[in-house]
Structure formats: structure tokens, C-alpha cells
Structure 1
């Protein structure tokens, strides 16, 4: 799975959620599972407002995660629209290309979009145009979209019709998933224990993680039969940015 998204979309936090999928399910039975969460990136850095538009992932990196019955190699990539400017975006594109060249194929492209944003920003359009230029057409049939910060389809502010111009009709509602990532609530939960009590906080977390577990299960059912799509990126290094 190639994991892509605009800086600030919640892409790396979604990776952390995938990595902790088993714990997500275990949290439904008790608050103690909270301590078993592991993270790839510092949650405080991810939430730092001053750095919110600077990519927290500086290289394209392969992680192996187990989501339900699936073992997935997830290629986490630097976010686009970085506040460090176009030169940094250009560097990030080349890093993604170098990583993909080392892979014979991928099964899935997962695009993470902040579902509360009302329209496609210039940087998001840049993400989409670069990725569709990089990858062969048959790979684009294996695209799924995760709308972060959005628990339900009715909460969605983003117009999904924008995506058809880049991926065609294949990106239908069946390939869209809505995630109000409960991973983001963990630190807040710890802080609220003394104010609200463990039972109340645990119930809130349980509901959030049970809902998220259902979404991840649905996502796995969608992608498990995606065929291998060969990358064929031998000429991509000459891409003009």
C-alpha cells in the first residue's frame, strides 16, 4: 500500500492507527489496552501547531502492519504542500519515486484527505496531479480514499467529485472510508482521567475504537482482492516538475 496525502491530512496518524489495529479492537474490552499503543512518530510533534504545515515524514519508508487477516507493507511518504516550499515537495516526489522503484508492484494506493476542509487546496491538487503522472493507469484502479477527521459521510465537507478528474469513476463511495481517528484522543484521555474518571473516559474511548474497528474491517474487505499492479517506473526519474 502506497500511503499518500497532503501535509496536515492525518496521514501518519492513520499509519499509527493501522499499526495498532489489534489494540484498537482490544480497547473495546478495557482501558488497560491504552498502554499497549505504540507509535511511529511523536504524538506531540504531530500535534504541534507551529509545525502543522511541515511534513513530519522526511522520507518514504516501508512498514509492515497487520490489519485483521491482512499483512500489509505500507509505504509511508512525505506529505505534499510542505511549508518549506516547492523545492522540498520536489525532493519528496523523488524520494517516493526511488522507494517505488525498489518495489516490483503495489496492490493499493491509499489517499488520506482531511474531510473537514471544504475544497481541494492547491497543494492537494499538486498531490493528485503528481501521483497520477507517476503511476501507471492500472494502479489507479486500486485507489482508496480515507477522509480523516470525519466520522460519517454526512460530516464530509470535501467534494469527492473532485477526485474523478484524477482517478476517473473508479473512486466511488465503496472505496471511500470515514475515520475520526481515535488515536488522536489517547493523550487527551490520559489528561482527562482525573477530571472525568476512568469509567467515563474508558466508555468514550470504547465507542470510538469500536466504530473505527468496523471501518478498518470494511477497508480490509475492500482491498484484500485488489490485484497486483506493477509499478513500471523506469522512466519516471525524468518526470518534469
Structure 2
């Protein structure tokens, strides 16, 4: 890196598939390094990332233009996110406002709304979080959008809420909206801000104050067409002469907006630099969400087992209580309970050396033929103590789930994407009316049904746990969340099972989002 660099700016780019993030990255670097289109035509281009598009030349011939080459980009699958994995692209910028040489790091991400489904979106966003965790801060979280969405479609709402569900509330201070391709809307957003405000106002009410402002400081308008025009000209493609003036204006407008965006970070609204967002806050939010969902089924299964165990113990107590004091009657009534093969003992004490002694102790108590009355009393006391300990563990598990969920509600912009169910329903409708084979339709509907069932289960878990936490007035911090896990692991009867179930779930998740960590890429200069 250049030793003269005095500052770094990390910018995370998020957006719906097809909104133009990849093109924006190249355009952004070249806008900041070339004040005019004429200067850019006579200079070498900064190629941070490959670009491919189609244009029609002056002779109405369709020409395909490619700029760079990289297997991280997928140009051959319509509807799928073109960017296949996260990657950071860096370039330097001489900031005349501060007289500093700044390293700008643009973090490209896979798009949201991938046609492969909500599972792919989750996979992509988990991948984003793991990638950005290598940095300490983000200065800007840029959500790229089209300027003229006609109505609040489910796709629009789903993509926006899916992005916001992964962010910490503090990140709202660093969120901005960049509208691409704004030349047709006179370099201003048209319908999109009004639709955007509907969703953001709704979120603010649901989350008790997660406010995302929409004003001149948080909205920026650029146009990718002038950059594509530049690439086409560099590749020898001719256009009508009177087009040049339009693209010169487009270039100048985009230069001004990109500089204004960086000034928002370096100078701020009141001549104070914008405070960066600490990435660990957002990472903690999503680790907690993963933890809740990873533990939800194991913990619910364990609490269900506890209920069954308690029923068996209650029945055991009733059998003992009904016995006469002589030991022969006790053993006669308990003979059918074969304690060492009971589902209760085999499941609860599986692999636990310390509890083997407890099981043997109860068997010993029940087999004491010298004093039937004492054997009966001791056995009942032992079972009462066991019931009490199991109920305490059940309470600890449920309270932990409540604390996890409440932490999410108080710190995440939104706990879950409530438009996901409608998004899934519409995807199923599209599949049913498609021209695909009957077998393919059946398989795809089965996949989306499984996704809907899992989503409904996860939402139910989060809603119930959050309600429990609110009713009990629980307060919890990031540090408290981290301390809860070892407490669950150390539970005497269920801790080992919780640990193993958690390990298996997290190992599966980690396998799903494994990726190659790409080193910072310096821009290549290209004609």
C-alpha cells in the first residue's frame, strides 16, 4: 500500500440482484479519479472488477462489450446473482477537502433476491457477514436501488427487509441509499423514496426507534450509462455525435454525487467526520440469531424430553406411593419398570458417568430389603430432588432462549423478515404456472414448501421467546449473550446434549458458508 495514505474508508455495497452493484464499483473509482468524461477518455481506466454488457452502435449493430475477466462473476445465468462471492476492491483518492490521500475499500456482495430462493439469499448474507468480520469498522453501508420503482412489490419489500434484518440498529447511522441509472429521472430518485419510506416507517414502529433517515445526506444519485459509454468508446464502438453532450453531463453529475458521498464520511453534516459502525456489533447480532435458530430445535426437543421424563417420574412416584411398606410389594409393582432399560434412564443418562452412579443409587434404594418403609421414603425424596433439578434446567433453557430473542429485538433493525412468507407464496405461484415439466414443478414446489415450514418454525420460536423476555423485563448485552452459552453447556442432565446439538448445527452452518478469503485487490489500469 502507498505509505502516503492517511485514512481508509470501508464501504459495504448491498442491493437486489441486477441493480448494478458491479458496474457501480468500476464507475465509482473512475468518477472519483476523472473529473470529466473527456479526461477519462484520454486516461487509462481503473478496472477493479469485470463488466460485460450489450450496446447497439451507430449502424444498429448489437455489440457485446467485456471489460476485464474474472471467474467471480457469473454472466451466464439470468436471475442469479452475478457476483458469486464477496470481494474487496481498493483504490486511492486524493481528498481535496482534507488534503488526505484516502484508501477507499469497496466491498462487493452477492445480490439479494436470487432466483435460487431464500436459502441462497441467507447463504449469501451469512457469507457477507463472515467476510466483513475481518475488518473493524464500516464507514458506509450503501444500499443500491433503482430510482423509479412503480409500486411496493413483495420483491422490493422482501429484498429490503432481508438486508435490514442482518444489521445492528447502530448501523442505521451509517446507512445511505445510492440510486443507479438516474439519467432518465433527471438525476433524482422518483417513486422509490416514497415506497422506501413506507417500509422504513413500518420498521420504526415495529422496532421502537430504529430510524433510518431519508434526506439529502442519505440519498445519492449516479448514472452507470456514462461509464458504459466510456468503455464502449474505448473498445472502438461509434455512437451518434450528439450523444456526447448527454454523457458528459451524466459523468459530471455522477462525479459530483460520488464526491458528495465521500464528503459525508470525511466531513460529515456539521463539519465532523461520520462515526464508523463497529462491525462486531452487527456480527454479534447475527451470531446470536444463528445461535437461537441452531439451538431452537435441540432445546425444544430437550424440553419436550424433560416433560416426558417428568411424566415417567410422576408415574414412578405414584407406583411407589401406592405400594405397602414391605419391600416385596414395592419390587413386585416396580418389576415392569426395568429401570436400566427405561427410555428415561437410557436417554437422559446416556454417556454420563456421573449419572450412572445416581441411577445405580436409586436402584439400590429400591432394592433395600432390610427396611421397606425407609426404602420407599428415600426413593421418593430422591425422585423429588431429580424432578426439581430437571425443572430448574427446563427453566434455565427457556429463559436463555428468551434472553437471546430479546437481545435480537433490542439490537437488530428487525428480528425477522415478515414479508418472507408472501415472497415464498408468490414464488410457488410462479412455479405452478411455469412451462416446466410436471416432475420439475413438483420438485421445486417441494423445496419451497420445506423453506416455508422452516421459516414459519423459526419465526414462531423468535416471537414466543421475545414475548417471554419482554414479560419478565429481562435486560441483556452482547457480553451477557456470550456468557449464557457455557451456562447451558454445564447443565447437569441436558448440557452435554445441548453442546453436541449446537456443535452439529453450527458445523453445518459453517460448512454452508465456507468461502475463499480474497485478499485486497488493487485496481488494474486498462485502456
| TM-score interval, normalised by the smaller of the two chains | 0.7 to 0.9
Tell me, in whole angstroms, the C-alpha distance in 1 between the residues paired with 2:237 and 2:285.
Answer: 55
Query: Which residue in 1 is equivalent to 2:299?
Result: none
User: Paired residue for 1:60?
Assistant: 86
Q: TM-score, normalised by structure 2?
A: 0.41
Give the one of 180, 183, 191 matched to 1:157.
Answer: 191
Aligned partners of 2:89, 2:182: CA distance in 1, in Å?
Answer: 25
Q: Residue 167 of structure 2 aligns with which residue?
A: 135
Pair 1:174 & 2:217 matched: yes
Which whole-Å CA distance do the structure 1 matches of 2:189 and 2:167 have between them?
Answer: 31
Matching of residue 206 in structure 1 with residue 248 in structure 2 = yes
RMSD: 3.1
> Displacement of 1:104 after TM fit?
1.9
Structure 1 unaligned residues grouped into runs of 5+: none
Structure of higher CA gyration radius: 2
RCO higher in structure (CA 8 A, sep ≥6): 1
How has the CA–CA distance of structure 1 residues 121 and 102 changed in structure 2, closer, same or farther, with 3 Å as cutoff? farther
Distance 1:23 1:99, change over 3 A: same
Matched, 1:16 2:23: no
* Contact 1:68/1:220 (<8 A) preserved: no
Inter-partner Cα distance in structure 2 for 1:116 and 1:163: 16
Aligned to 2:337: none
The structure with the greater share of residues assigned to helix is 2
Q: Provide the rounded CA distance (Å) in 1 between the counterparts of 2:151 and 2:234.
A: 34
After the TM superposition, which of the residue ranges 165-174 and 187-196 deviates more from structure 2?
Answer: 187-196
Q: Which aligned pairs between 1:2-81 and structure 2 lie closer than 5 A?
A: 2-29=12-39, 31-33=41-43, 36-44=45-53, 51-69=77-95, 70-81=102-113
TM-score (norm 1): 0.82
Q: 1:59, 1:95 within 8 Å by CA — same for their partners in 2?
A: yes
Partner residue in 2 for 1:227: 275
Structure 2 residue runs without a partner (length 5+): 1-10, 55-64, 67-73, 96-101, 204-209, 267-272, 294-454, 456-527
Name the structure 2 match of 1:183.
227
1:17-57: CA deviation from partner (whole Å, max 9, x where unpaired): 12223444253446323x52525023239999974422111
Q: Report deviation, 1:77.
A: 0.9
2:260 aligns to what SS in structure 1? Answer: helix
Partner SS, residue 211 of structure 2: helix
Contact 2:33 2:93 in 1 (8 A): no
Offset at 1:177?
A: 1.0
Aligned length: 238
